[in-house]
Amino acid sequence: MKIISGKLKGRVLKGYDLEGTRPTMERVKESCFAMIQNKLPSSIVLDLFSGSGNLGIEAISQGAEKAYLIDKEKAAVRVIEENVSKCHIEDETEIFLLDYEKALNYFHQANIQFDIVFIDPPYKSDYAIKSLHLLDELDLLTKDATIIVETSFGEFKVDKLSYHLEKSKKYGDKYIYIYSYSKEF
C-alpha cells in the first residue's frame, strides 16, 4: 500500500493481513479521497476498524489535523504504530486498541467530534450500521460531517434522517457509500 497524495505521497505502508480483513484497494482509496479532498484540510478524522491505518494516514497526508486510528486486534495496532512511526506523524495521530463500541463511547465521554469518519468493518457484519447509529446517538459528528462506508452489501441502507447519501459506487465486490451528516444543532 502506498500513500497516494499529499506530504507523505509515495510512502509504502505495511499491510495487515488477518482472516476476514482486506486492505482498501488503491483505486478505491484514490476515488474516495478525490471525493472528499476539499473537506480534509484541518479536519478531525476517525478511522474506525483501521487495520493498517491506511485511510487515517492518507487523511493526514492530505491535510487532516488529527486522525484517530481504532482497531481491536493487537496485531493490527502494532502495524498501525509501525506505519505511523515510519511516517513520523505521531503528533497528528492517536491509536487505540479498542472495540468500536468502546471507542465510540470513549470519544463521547471525552467530548470529541469528527469531521470525517471512515467505516470499513469486517464484511458480512452489521458493524457499519451499528457504528452509524452510535455516531449519531453519541453526538460524535460535527455539523456537515462526511462518513465513508466500505462494505460488501449492495443494498446498504441507513434509516436515520440525519444521514444523506451523497454517492455510492461499486468496485468489484466492494461498495463505497459516502454520506453527509446534517443533523440540526
Helix axis angle for 74-87 and 54-61, nearest 10°, is 20
Is this prediction's pTM over 0.85?
A: yes
Q: How far apart are CA 66 and CA 107, in angstroms?
A: 14
CATH hierarchy code of domain 26-181:
3.40.50.150
Q: β-strands 44-48, 114-119: how paired?
A: parallel
Distance between CA 99 and CA 66 in Å, rounded? 20
Per-residue pLDDT of the chain (185 residues; tens, 9 = 90+): 899 999 999 999 998 665 544 555 677 788 889 989 999 999 999 999 999 999 999 999 999 999 999 999 999 999 999 999 999 999 999 999 999 999 999 999 999 999 999 999 987 788 999 999 999 999 999 998 999 998 876 666 777 668 988 998 888 878 889 999 987 54
Break the chain into its structural domains and give their ranges.
26-181
CA–CA gap between residue 124 and residue 79 (Å, rounded): 24
